[in-house]
Structure 1
Amino acid sequence: MAKVTFLGLGVMGSPMAGHLEAKGHDVTVYNRTTAKAEAWAAAHKGGFAATPREAVEGAGFVMACVGNDDDLRSVCLGPDGAFAGMSAGSVFVDHTTVSAKVTRELAAVAAENGIGYVDAPVSGGQAGAENGVLSVMCGGTEEDYAKAEPIMAAYGRTVKRLGEVGMGQTAKMCNQICIAGLVQGLSEALLLAENSGLDGEALVEVIAGGAAGSWQMVNRHKTMLAGEYEHGFAVDWMRKDLAICLEAGEETGTPMPVTALVDQFYKDVQTMGGGRWDTSSLMARLKAFK
């Protein structure tokens, strides 16, 4: 069992920290809104602190799951940041989906202070975090990963090192690219079925076990057919991620025509007032723009 700090208690971070506590780790949490950290500590056998630096005192492992590049910098750097309070030999594990650029930037600062760094974005959504079955894509040295893997196992069903620092974030971008194109195709198929008088649920029952099947199809088709889009990863966050994907495409000379197109479709969803809808709301856009 280890002394662990968790920074960021959103819809993903809060249950992930809960799994760490349930596994017997000594957990201290920090959240930008201190009341949320205090509430988490009251509901679990854990403590909370008012700053990242205070929260990481004595921790062997510090896990973070915040919003974006700037949020990550803010919890890591500065006199009250996590790096200012972490001891040499400890390991920082970032579960935020951010750019590989900021990952390498912060990993370099961590290394200067003798701190290990593993970038470890996750996939599986809120349900995966709550059920402790996330997929965790990791980048970092073999030594740092080996230290952190047993800790991440508290909430990760699949935890894998994919290379050096930054490769975890690159893998997450590949994940988001696949989801974006897939959800658009699923939306078009379900709408064609609906407009043709074909029972959408019966259709999915037939094709989900074949080559067209996917997690999105199995888990989202019913709510998509019902026009319900309050079940998961928000469009606002997906556009943040797709911007990182497109930037990586430019940097590496990788054409991403489908990703660029679907990103604009999600922009349309935002214009419709659906920024907080889940990513399956591409179906709502099709109905509105037909």
Structure 2
Amino acid sequence: MAKVSFLGLGVMGFPMAGHLAAKGHEVTVYNRSPARAEAWVARHPGRLATTPRAATEGAEFVMACVGNDDDLAQVCRGPDGAFAGMSPGALFVDHTTVSATITRKLGAEAAALGLGFVDAPVSGGQAGAENGQLSIMCGGLPEDYARAEPVLASYARICRRIGDLGAGQLAKMMNQICIAGLMQGLSEALAFGQKAGLDGEKVVEVISQGAAGSWQMVNRHKTMLRDEFDFGFAVDCMRKDLGICLATADEIGARLPVTALVDQFYKDVQLMGGGRNDTSSLIRRLR
């Protein structure tokens, strides 16, 4: 069992840190809003710290799951940052969905301090985090990944090293590109079926077993048909992720015409007041 710190206790980080504690790891948590950390230690064995530095002192592994590039940089850098508390040889594992650029910058800073760094964004949503069934795509040195993998198994359904530092984030961008297209297609199909007077659940029961089937179809069609969206992965977060995808596409010369279009559709949902709704709320703009 390892001495582990977990930084960021949102809808994903809270249960992920809980799985680490349940597996017997010695866990210290930090959250920018102290109430979340207090709620976590009330439910799980472990302790809380008031700064990232205090949380990471003496830790073998430091996991982070925060909001964006700026949040990650803030939690890592500075006199109260995670890097200041970590000892040489410790390993930082970042579960935040961020740009490959900030990943490589922070990875270089970590290496200069004698620290390991693995980018390890996740897919599977809140349910995957709560059930310990996340897909984790990683980038980093093979030896750093090998050290992290047994710990990541605490909440992983599958965990793979994709390549060097930043490769995990690039793989997560591919994941979000796929979801954007799938969700738009599912929204159009369900809205079409409703206009045609069909029973959407009956149709999905059939087509989900064929070539059109997807995780989104199986897990989101019922709530989409009922117009329920107060859960899951927020539209605001999806737009942040798609912004990273589109910026990276410009950098590498890739073309993402459908992704760019769906990003604007999600902007419509935001303008409708649905920024905190699940990404499946894309269907709202078709009704």
The aligned residue for residue 192 of structure 1 is 192
1:27 matched to 2:27? yes
Cα distance in 1 for partners of 2:80, 2:52 equals 6
The aligned residue for residue 270 of structure 1 is 270
The residue type equivalent to 2:58 in the other structure is G
**Superposition pairs for residues 230-245 of structure 1, below 5 Å?**
230-245=230-245
Aligned partner of residue 163 in structure 2, secondary structure: coil
The aligned residue for residue 110 of structure 1 is 110
Measured after TM superposition, the shift of residue 70 of structure 1 is 0.4
The aligned residue for residue 178 of structure 1 is 178
Cα distance in 2 for partners of 1:179, 1:256 equals 13
The aligned residue for residue 62 of structure 1 is 62
The aligned residue for residue 204 of structure 2 is 204
RMSD: 0.5
Cα distance in 1 for partners of 2:228, 2:38 equals 33
Measured after TM superposition, the shift of residue 79 of structure 1 is 0.2
| Structure 1 gaps, min length 5 | none
The farther-off stretch of 20-29 and 227-236 is: 227-236
Q: 1:150-181: per-residue Cα shift (whole Å, max 9, x none)?
A: 00000011000000000000000000000001
Structure 1 length normalisation: TM-score? 0.98
Cα distance in 1 for partners of 2:238, 2:248 equals 15
**Sequence identity percentage:** 72
Q: 1:236-262: per-residue Cα shift (whole Å, max 9, x none)?
A: 000000000000110111110000000
The aligned residue for residue 42 of structure 1 is 42
Cα distance in 1 for partners of 2:110, 2:221 equals 43
Cα distance in 2 for partners of 1:182, 1:39 equals 36
Give the number of equivalent residue pairs.
287
The aligned residue for residue 259 of structure 1 is 259
Cα distance in 2 for partners of 1:27, 1:87 equals 16
Measured after TM superposition, the shift of residue 36 of structure 1 is 1.6
The residue type equivalent to 2:125 in the other structure is G
Aligned partner of residue 137 in structure 2, secondary structure: strand
Cα distance in 1 for partners of 2:39, 2:215 equals 33
Measured after TM superposition, the shift of residue 42 of structure 1 is 2.1
The residue type equivalent to 1:117 in the other structure is F
The aligned residue for residue 86 of structure 1 is 86
Measured after TM superposition, the shift of residue 39 of structure 1 is 2.1
Aligned partner of residue 143 in structure 1, secondary structure: helix
The aligned residue for residue 137 of structure 1 is 137
Measured after TM superposition, the shift of residue 231 of structure 1 is 2.8
The residue type equivalent to 1:171 in the other structure is A
Aligned partner of residue 24 in structure 1, secondary structure: coil
Measured after TM superposition, the shift of residue 198 of structure 1 is 1.1
Cα distance in 2 for partners of 1:256, 1:228 equals 29
| Structure 2 gaps, min length 5 | none
Measured after TM superposition, the shift of residue 16 of structure 1 is 0.2
Cα distance in 2 for partners of 1:189, 1:231 equals 22
The aligned residue for residue 158 of structure 2 is 158
The aligned residue for residue 95 of structure 1 is 95
The aligned residue for residue 126 of structure 2 is 126
